[in-house]
Amino acid sequence: MEKDGIRENLDEKDSNIMLPKPSLDEFSHLSLDIGGSLIKVVYFSSNSNCLVDDNGMRSPEDSLEVSNSNSNWPFLSGRLHFAKFETSKINDCLEFISSKQLHYCGSRHHEAPAGDKNVIKATGGGAYKFADLFKEKLGVSLDKVDEMDCLVAGANFLLKAVHPEAFTYMDGQKGYVQIDHNDLYPYLLVNIGSGVSMIKVDGDGKFERVSGTSVGGGTFWGLGRLLTKCKSFDELLKLSHQGNNRVIDMLVGDIYGGMDYSKIGLSSTAIASSFGKAVSENKELEDYRPEDVSRSLLRMISNNIGQISYLNALRFGLKRIFFGGFFIRSHAYTMDTISVAVHFWSKGEAKAMFLRHEGFLGALGAFMSYEKHDLEDLIAH
């Protein structure tokens, strides 16, 4: 769900993530995934260092508790925090990092580390594009980590270490899925960012990008901005709640006089042509409600992604498909549309599954790339 631009927690309380305890001067706290549309931030805060104080101000964050409940292992007590910013407003992200002194975390007295220690792990194209800006504004260097490596590492970590994390969603019903760690691989990871990457994951560090599409979150936001004059992705998504895509989409029933085309398994309410009614009606853009336009656009892109994803899963004999990326944002209609597409094209044999922290796979993977975290030990337990 979205509330005031902030992704709310899902129904259940956040599950604990237990991290092995390093020394304070070795522990790295901040990582970034700088995409074409959004910047995703992951950082760790503890009770003893890198204190976080919002001064009563709400921040664009979600968080996950880090527990010391297991006495058999030495754990830090604190939280993993997740924040997001529009890439076009990168200065807001820089101010956020500076105000919380996150670029100083890892030093004992909140002083900037010297020399090459003043480094932040970062992934995504923006890690290259904005490297000089981070150096100029914050005095830090971005240690660039491969984007696909990070996406897979982040997904594997969540699926193995966080419970519950994966869930199905159809007809308004959400069902959490128990993941058998011994039967996790192979699976298809569909990351929906500005564009879409489809990755066949065969194990830790074993993967292949098998397909993708340029029709993704950036398409929804870009076309939506042009067609509706919305000022933000979240505003466009919220607008789609109030829309009716049937005003604009041509349905099977519109072609067959309200009848199903049962011979090939198409109901009268199935979409025959996205935006198809706009061709046959003598209307201009301003004659359509922005709510209906955004709804139709969201339906078109979600259906397309769901179909292409299943076809790639079929190609490799995969029954398990996980969807991530900030296009989804736990939005009920988006998840339902993707799920229906996968169910329809697979004839019920495959299921779409979603992740509670879907937008932070890359940033989590970058966070885990700090060698001294020993996060493989965490996953093993």
From first to last of its 381 residues, what are the pLDDT tens digits of the chain? 333 332 333 333 343 344 544 443 444 478 999 998 889 999 887 644 444 444 322 344 466 654 434 333 233 456 788 999 989 999 999 999 998 888 775 443 334 444 445 889 999 999 999 999 999 999 999 999 999 999 999 999 899 888 789 999 998 899 999 988 888 999 999 999 889 999 999 999 999 999 999 999 999 999 999 999 999 888 999 999 999 999 999 988 877 777 767 777 777 778 889 999 999 888 999 999 999 999 999 999 999 999 999 999 999 999 899 999 989 988 999 999 999 999 989 988 998 999 999 999 999 999 988 864 444 444 433
Show Cβ contacts of residue 118 under 8 Å, excluding neighbours closer than 6 positions: 103, 112, 139, 140, 141
Half-sphere exposure of 294 (CA within 13 A, CB side): 24
> Quick check: bond before 22 cis, omega within 30?
no
Cβ contact 66:76 at 8 Å: yes
Tokens encoding 63:
């968080």
> Quick check: bond before 164 cis, omega within 30?
yes
Half-sphere exposure of 93 (CA within 13 A, CB side): 25
Sign of the C-alpha dihedral, residues 307, 331, 219, 270?
Answer: positive
Half-sphere exposure of 45 (CA within 13 A, CB side): 19
pLDDT at 62: 64
The span from the CA of 165 to the CA of 179, in Å, is: 9
Residue ranges in the chain assigned as alpha helix (H): 90-99, 126-129, 131-138, 147-161, 217-228, 233-240, 252-255, 277-280, 290-315, 332-346, 361-368, 375-380
The span from the CA of 57 to the CA of 342, in Å, is: 41
The span from the CA of 272 to the CA of 292, in Å, is: 17
pLDDT at 169: 95
| Count of positions (residues) in the chain | 381
Domain with CATH 3.30.420.40 in the chain: 2-148+361-380, 217-248+288-355
The span from the CA of 233 to the CA of 218, in Å, is: 9
Show Cβ contacts of residue 375 under 8 Å, excluding neighbours closer than 6 positions: 19, 20, 157, 368
Half-sphere exposure of 92 (CA within 13 A, CB side): 13
pLDDT at 371: 64
Task: Give the CA dihedral 152, 154, 156, 158, nearest 10 degrees.
Answer: -150
- What fold does the segment set 2-148+361-380 form as a domain? Nucleotidyltransferase; domain 5 (3.30.420)
- What fold does the segment set 217-248+288-355 form as a domain? Nucleotidyltransferase; domain 5 (3.30.420)
